[in-house]
Amino acid sequence: MELKTFVFNPIQVNSYLLWDNSKEAVLIDCGCFFAHEKEELKQFIATNGLTLKHYLNTHLHFDHIFGSPYIFKEFGIHPEANDADLHWAQEIASRVARFGIQYNDEIPPIGRILNDGDEIKFGNSSITAIAVPGHSPGSLAYHLPQEKILFSGDALFCNSIGRTDFPDSNHSQLISSIKERLFVLPEETIVYPGHDRKTTIGYEKEYNMFVR
């Protein structure tokens, strides 16, 4: 499995592109906001001869979906996500305006509503969706068990966890999600979060002071 990490937009979201030997690819959380970020992503896909098959969202907070209209326009691919966060996408313009950001694009509708346990197949590989609500009601993590890779979105970070001060966040629910859904994975599982650097399940179980 090949993996490329892009860091996009002023909020520094990790957007992940992964592909196997079939050259079929999956994009997770497209945060590209500026024109040069969109061009960087497009050129990387073209230069490496990749065919984008799926566009997955861990959740629908605006910093993770800035690039969704571009992906739909350029590749004709709808986002796949849980619909419990849909109001975030529908209200994106007003939400980002509070941060002094102007955003006029319309987020395309969800193409496939993903729920806990759903599989996303591409090439010779498969991803499993894991429900991890708490940071947002519809938060999902994406697990590739054979590769021992997890994309945790904003649920779990290196030495930290996702914010739970939003009106629809739930701190105790997030802690339960991490303990019951993520910390049961093999300790060597590499965790690629929505922001900042990667970590492992084993490291977070031992050192993450927010999960006790």
Residue 182 is part of a domain; what is its CATH number? 3.60.15.10
Let me know if residue 139 belongs to a domain: yes
Q: For the chain, 212 residues long, give each residue's pLDDT as a single digit of tens.
A: 999 999 999 999 999 999 999 999 999 999 999 999 999 999 999 999 999 999 999 999 999 999 999 999 999 999 999 999 999 999 999 999 988 889 999 999 999 999 999 999 999 999 999 999 999 999 999 999 999 999 999 999 999 999 999 999 999 999 999 999 999 999 999 999 999 999 999 999 999 999 98
Bridge-based pairing of strands 112-113 and 119-122 is unpaired
**Structure letter (DSSP) for residue 83:** G
What is the rounded CA–CA span in Å between residue 47 and residue 1? 17
Predicted confidence at residue 100, as pLDDT, reads 87
Query: For tokens 């955003």, what's the residue?
Result: 103
Let me know if residue 212 belongs to a domain: no
What is the rounded CA–CA span in Å between residue 167 and residue 75? 34
What's the total number of domains in the chain? 1
Domain that holds residue 39: 2-207
